Amino acid sequence: MSAPDPSYDPAAEVVRLCSDLIRIDTTNYGDQPGPGERLAAEHVAGLLDEVGITTEIYESETGRASVVGRWGGTVGDPVLLHGHLDVVPANAADWKIDPFAGEVDQADNGGLCVWGRGAVDMKDFDAMLLSSVRARARAGVVPERPLVLCFTADEEAGGANGAGFLAREHRDLLADCTVAVGEVGGFSTTVRGRRVYLIEAAEKGMAWVRLTARGTAGHGSMRQPDNAVTRLAAAVARIGQHQWPVRLTPTMEILLASVAELVGTEATPENAEALVEEFGPAARMIGAVIRNSANPTMLDAGYKVNVVPGEATARIDGRFLPGYEDEFWDTLAALAGPGIEITKDVHMGALETPYDGQVVRAMNAALLSEDPDALVAPYLMSGGTDAKYWSEMGMKCFGFAPLRLPEELDFTALFHGVDERVPVDSLEFGARVFDTFLGNLSGD
């Protein structure tokens, strides 16, 4: 039998697939009911079934659906390729283009973009993965390494009904995977005229915390020294104004050393903030991962203006660096002070994967095959992804959704932002790079 024809275009469908996925409303409202991911899961399963890849749909609750399938070769341990199907809410009145229309239209700089909620978080990656896999399956070009294709529900609300459900209830589906590759990495930023592609190799831990102060309820016109609102407000102010010290993890040491070389200096904790500013708009994200953080986000107290309440609460979005969790909790307790109860509403650990091995080499080579003059380096992400569940299962985790972006695009502002969009050229670049990555995978 003759060898399969390798002539195929992995980017041929990527724009259409991204638009089609955006048109399926998978808004995740957290604790409130939403449309769920079932329609998107069925759509993805159908796309894979068309090219002979069998999948199963798993529901944690009615409508909260994830898709899992296997494909690829037999050499080496399976690699988990994962994307989520849900998106955060969008208010159409704020947008230039309907956030669920999936339209391809001009951006202000004249370039064509796919517009809509999920265009960068993360239906663009779902489309890249599907476009490449479908092209390869049709051409009979199967990667050497076995792959688990996974599209999850509920990532935007912490993942309990998606990746968490699969890790708890269907662990056997993923137990033999040793590496996981997903979102928020592989995109470019520009430093002193040089493109730098950032591959996620670490994530901050997540600590969504509730502070509770209690006092003596009473009439608002009288002296009330035991005031819960006053005590809570002081604690919130201390936490919100605290300057956390710079801490460089191994991932960030590598990234900042790469930037320091471009600048003509050496990376140190003392000049870390100056090096971060070299990333331009991306400093918004990079600047959050050289220290722990705790941002007050919600306050709740009282029910009538002339009644001093007996209880007041606040919510804190805390994020801690890999290796610095103990420092985070000790500092938070000291800042909160006496009389403040700290409750961990959501607590997920940090992760950091050594930036080495065959999969890292495959990602680097794939990017440089399309952009040979670029730099590639790891980075630590400020937010969280489904990788937290896969890391707990023992997988090495990376974010690799490759995009070559225009220097003037403030990409990090598009995550959960108004007028979310991805350039068509970037999307097609990403599909080609990801396809090369799949071809580079081996069992070494």
Residue 377: in which H helix or E strand, if any?
strand 375-381
Q: Where in the chain is the domain with CATH 3.40.630.10?
A: 14-202+351-440
Instruction: Give the span between the Cα atoms of 124 and 117, in whole angstroms.
Output: 10
Query: 205-348 maps to which CATH number?
Result: 3.30.70.360
Instruction: Give the span between the Cα atoms of 353 and 356, in whole angstroms.
Output: 9
pLDDT tens digits, the chain, 444 residues: what are they?
A: 345 566 799 999 999 999 999 999 999 999 899 999 999 999 999 999 999 999 999 999 999 999 999 999 999 999 999 999 999 999 999 999 999 999 999 987 769 999 999 999 999 999 999 999 999 999 999 999 999 999 999 999 989 999 999 999 999 999 999 999 999 999 999 999 999 999 999 999 999 999 999 999 999 999 999 999 999 999 999 999 999 999 999 999 999 999 999 999 999 999 999 999 999 989 988 999 999 999 999 999 999 999 999 999 999 999 999 999 999 999 999 999 999 999 999 899 999 999 999 999 999 999 999 999 999 999 999 988 999 999 999 999 999 999 999 998 899 889 999 999 999 999 999 999 999 999 999 865
Phi and psi, residue 83, nearest 5°: -140, 155
Q: Tokens 């999920």 label which residue? A: 118
Topology (CATH) of 14-202+351-440: Aminopeptidase (3.40.630)
Give the angle 234-237-239 at the CA atoms, nearest 5°: 110
Q: What is the DSSP letter of 219?
A: E
Token pair belonging to 209: 């915390």
Q: Where in the chain is the domain with CATH 3.30.70.360?
A: 205-348
pTM above 0.85, yes or no: yes
- Sign for the CA dihedral angle at 190, 193, 195, 200 comes to negative
